[in-house]
A and B are shown apart, each in its own frame.
Chain A
């Protein structure tokens, strides 16, 4: 009767193949092939995956002798076409300066600067904060949150529509070869047609507002979705269908009580991946007809040369994508209690854990003092 406990004990010890620590110390422990890193190190690396690009960006932005091809004029001095706040190429500035020295005029002053399209991290961070509070330049333009809301509405409509049709059709194709044979060859053909190619057509048929955009997201995801879900369904162990048949299940019961619940976990993962695709098509879709949503915001800000706002908007898209994925993963593990505990903890969870561990470490270190 203690089979279960034995099994549990074995599961506990088996995957943790971290032999005696001392022996594997050093380089080997960081660079072992296909062996899980200790939790602490994995979390640390996850934090670094964000810190490294940020550090690179900071390096280019804040260290004056790295890149900085321009000089930001602070004092025009005697050069009449210089103005405070103006960006001048290094060579031009040097030449003007040399001439001024020769002629004994007052010198212009400035400091090295990067092009306007590469704002420094702190500028973008500030923009992330102020972008929501900054009123649009024209009263007819939307606020950032309105742009974002509009984008979310379009992506949700497009993705919901494609899933509403794609999920059932995919499961049918994966279960009954009849449906697979009668739809999949055409879908295989259609999925190679790039969704943006239908932009003009969509506008002609559906007008210039949200409908053609929803149509483009639909075209971009639906065909992939059916094929991906059909393949996922086909991966379901056929012995489960046979077992159900010997238990007396009829055809509709096989579909509803075996295929659907059997595939739902993988299907959920598929949908999370496909949602990423939908985001990609969103940016294209928003250019169709009247530009709208977050794309409109990005274009306007670029036109006003507020590049920190452009970056802020792009980062926002990334944050929304990542956090929605994390939330969906959370919901998933609550929805499907029968899946074994995930071997791989989520990125965000490991970052939070890492930071918490650092915090605790500091706290305990401080205690004796």
Chain B
């Protein structure tokens, strides 16, 4: 089906990923005027293992502004999840520090919500009770917690499922509840560690749409870890591109796409250019090459598949 003329990208040269429209450039100018919410200063992390110390993160520095949507991307082993866990306070950095506003992070807290890749809803609580959890442990009365939780369940579009238990929900619905549960605490930063990684492609695309809609109406800065390049470009204002061994920051890419994002943008030249740049950064020349296997033949001549 694929003709030779639209099969290769050389026919139409892609624009430079740094070519922003005036509108997008103005948008970034306004973002940088907003206060810094999250300040990651020289964060390093060394794990002690049986085979000696392993550096997972090497002096990462970055500032996220209020209501920015930041994606963290990189090959496996580049420490992107470790970075998210350090910001969450679940792991402590071995050097450097994380500031939230002007307060240093010293452990998990209500001001940073987190959505994990594995489903972490409490199986013994209904959807409503799951969303109420943060409010309950924060000391809200049961009545007001329930009222607020109901609102958040409506926000993620699961009002009809308030009384359902997690095992009755699909994977995508579970993650929407997890988002509602994290947002109910009204955190300043929402950390998402490959939250859609376990979902099928169709559901993942839906979830990206939901996330953008929710983010638009909530005052929260999002730090979204993913290994999916399309997902990162589609969602992010800026992308932290990380490299492995040890995990370090390669580049901070400003995504030149306009908002609101639409699925149609996935095929725009600017999108492809940005994606290609990320690919080159992360995988270098290794892109789409498979080592040639030794040649054996276990089938008859004349039935070649390629």
List residues of A whose CB falls within 8 A of some B CB.
1, 3-4, 6-8, 237, 239-240, 242-250, 253, 257-258, 261-262, 264-265, 336-340
Complex Cα distance, B126 from A261, in Å, reads 13
Do A4 and B161 touch across chains, with their CB atoms under 8 A apart?
yes
Asked if A262 meets B167 with Cβ closer than 8 Å, knowing A243-B116, A248-B109, A249-B137, the reply is: no
A-B pair number, CB within 8 angstroms: 95
5 CB contacts below 8 A, A to B, read: A3-B169, A244-B133, A245-B107, A253-B137, A338-B126
Q: Is B118 an interface residue (CB 8 A)?
A: yes
Q: Is B138 an interface residue (CB 8 A)?
A: yes
Q: Is B28 an interface residue (CB 8 A)?
A: no
Complex Cα distance, B157 from A247, in Å, reads 21
Q: Is B172 an interface residue (CB 8 A)?
A: yes
> In the complex, which of the residues A6, A242, A265 has the most CB atoms of chain B within 10 Å of its own CB atom?
A242
Q: Is B168 an interface residue (CB 8 A)?
A: yes
Asked if A336 meets B124 with Cβ closer than 8 Å, knowing A7-B169, A246-B108, A247-B133, the reply is: yes
Complex Cα distance, B168 from A340, in Å, reads 8
Q: Is B90 an interface residue (CB 8 A)?
A: yes
Find chain A residues with CB under 8 A from B112 CB.
Answer: 246
The 0/1 profile, CB within 8 Å of A marked 1, for residues 83-96 of chain B is: 00000111000000
Find chain A residues with CB under 8 A from B167 CB.
Answer: 338-340
Within the complex, what minimum Cβ distance (angstroms) separates B203 from chain A? Answer: 8
Q: Is B113 an interface residue (CB 8 A)?
A: yes
Do B110 and A239 touch across chains, with their CB atoms under 8 A apart?
no
> In the complex, which of the residues B108, B110, B137, B166 has the most CB atoms of chain A within 10 Å of its own CB atom?
B137
Do A338 and B165 touch across chains, with their CB atoms under 8 A apart?
yes
Complex Cα distance, B138 from A250, in Å, reads 9
Find chain A residues with CB under 8 A from B166 CB.
Answer: 338
Q: Is B46 an interface residue (CB 8 A)?
A: no
Asked if A237 meets B120 with Cβ closer than 8 Å, knowing A245-B90, A247-B182, A248-B185, the reply is: yes
Do B164 and A4 touch across chains, with their CB atoms under 8 A apart?
yes
Do A245 and B122 touch across chains, with their CB atoms under 8 A apart?
no
Within the complex, what minimum Cβ distance (angstroms) separates B248 from chain A? Answer: 25
Find chain A residues with CB under 8 A from B168 CB.
Answer: 4, 7-8
Complex Cα distance, B159 from A1, in Å, reads 10
Complex Cα distance, B182 from A264, in Å, reads 25
Do A243 and B173 touch across chains, with their CB atoms under 8 A apart?
no
A340's nearest neighbour on chain B, judged by CB, is B167
Q: Is B170 an interface residue (CB 8 A)?
A: yes
Do B124 and A4 touch across chains, with their CB atoms under 8 A apart?
no
Do A242 and B124 touch across chains, with their CB atoms under 8 A apart?
no
Within the complex, what minimum Cβ distance (angstroms) separates B175 from chain A? Answer: 11
Complex Cα distance, B187 from A36, in Å, reads 48
- Select which of A3, A6, A239, A247 is within 8 A of B185 by beta carbon: A247
Find chain A residues with CB under 8 A from B137 CB.
Answer: 244, 247-250, 253, 257
Do A3 and B109 touch across chains, with their CB atoms under 8 A apart?
no
- Select which of A6, A240, A339 is within 8 A of B170 by beta carbon: A6
Within the complex, what minimum Cβ distance (angstroms) separates B141 from chain A? Answer: 16
Complex Cα distance, B112 from A261, in Å, reads 25
Q: Is B114 an interface residue (CB 8 A)?
A: yes
Within the complex, what minimum Cβ distance (angstroms) separates A187 from chain B? Answer: 28
Find chain A residues with CB under 8 A from B169 CB.
Answer: 3-4, 7
- Select which of A3, A250, A338 is within 8 A of B124 by beta carbon: A338
Which residues of chain B from 89 to 134 have any CB-CB distance to chain A below 8 Å in the complex? 89-90, 107-110, 112-114, 116, 118, 120, 122-126, 133-134
Do A239 and B118 touch across chains, with their CB atoms under 8 A apart?
yes
Do A246 and B114 touch across chains, with their CB atoms under 8 A apart?
yes
